[in-house]
Amino acid sequence: MALDIAMKFYLRSPLRRDRVECRITQSNEPLRPCIQTTDKTLLSELSNQENKVKKRVSFADSRGLALTMVKVYSDFDDELEIPFNISELIDNIVNLTTVEKEHFVLDFVQPSADYLDFRNRLKADSVCLENCMLKDKALVGTVKVKNLAFQKCVKIRITFDSWQTYTDYDCQYVKDSYGGSDKDTFSFDVSLPDSIQSNARLEFAVCFDCEGRIFWDSNKGLNYRIVRHGHRIPYDPVCVSVDQYGSPRCSYGIFPELPTYSGFDKLGPYY
């Protein structure tokens, strides 16, 4: 008995068949490797360049040949002329060095640099120079005194000719902003003469007059000296005094001339 089998064939649409063909189709171009190798021709060119002889420069006289031109230089008979601006600069440097040696400087350590010694001196002598500096041909500074009485007078006695003559300058009272202190502060401003002999000694001391009682601060008998820069004796920073507890008073060692800098416009007590 014959059987008839019916089979269904499903055909894809032309559009979908074209997409499949596009995916299956491969490019005819060969694939390039991702790692590039060095071209042999490039290597050969580099090796040829290295093998080439380097060019050298030589002079004719080194090979025994004659030079095309020869010039002979001799010493100048005339003095070398220095431009005016350079000669002026040299003169200014020389003059500046001379002026630096001639200007005056303080030849003593600031009393307030060692606070413990300063306090002991004020307690024992009732008067002590606090700080001092030279500014614009003038000697300025402050003095501390004990407040022993209301009426008091503080003076600076200074000489410009090795104590052949001297002059007293009154100090001005500086009002204490806090009040109630057992110490008073006085300031002074002494103008230096325009001409001072090179061998003359400039020295001063502080006088404190309180109701007929006279107290002096003469820097422990040495007086406070002002000398020219070239005659100043350098201080040894190692020689720093030590207090009774064994701690060094290092304020002088670190800042030996701090109050003498001309940058301070306001001069007053430091406490």
Q: What is the pLDDT of residue 245?
A: 42
Report residue 67 as tokens: 């030079």
Are residues 208 and 145 in contact, defined by beta-carbon separation less than 8 angstroms?
yes
* Rg of the chain (C-alpha set): 47
Q: What is the pLDDT of residue 205?
A: 96
Task: Give me the CATH topology for the region 105-259.
Answer: Immunoglobulin-like (2.60.40)
The alpha-helical segments, DSSP class H, found in the chain are 14-24, 40-51, 84-102, 115-125, 251-254
Let me know how many helices (H) and strands (E) the chain has, helices first.
Answer: 5, 10
Q: What is the pLDDT of residue 93?
A: 56
**Residue 259: closest CA among 138, 102, 130, 107:** 130
Report residue 33 as tokens: 């490797």
Q: What is the pLDDT of residue 260?
A: 40
Q: What is the pLDDT of residue 24?
A: 52
Where the chain has pLDDT below 50, the residues are 1, 96-100, 237-271
Q: What is the pLDDT of residue 237?
A: 47
SS3 179: coil
Domain range list for the chain = 105-259
Residue with tokens 């499949």: 20
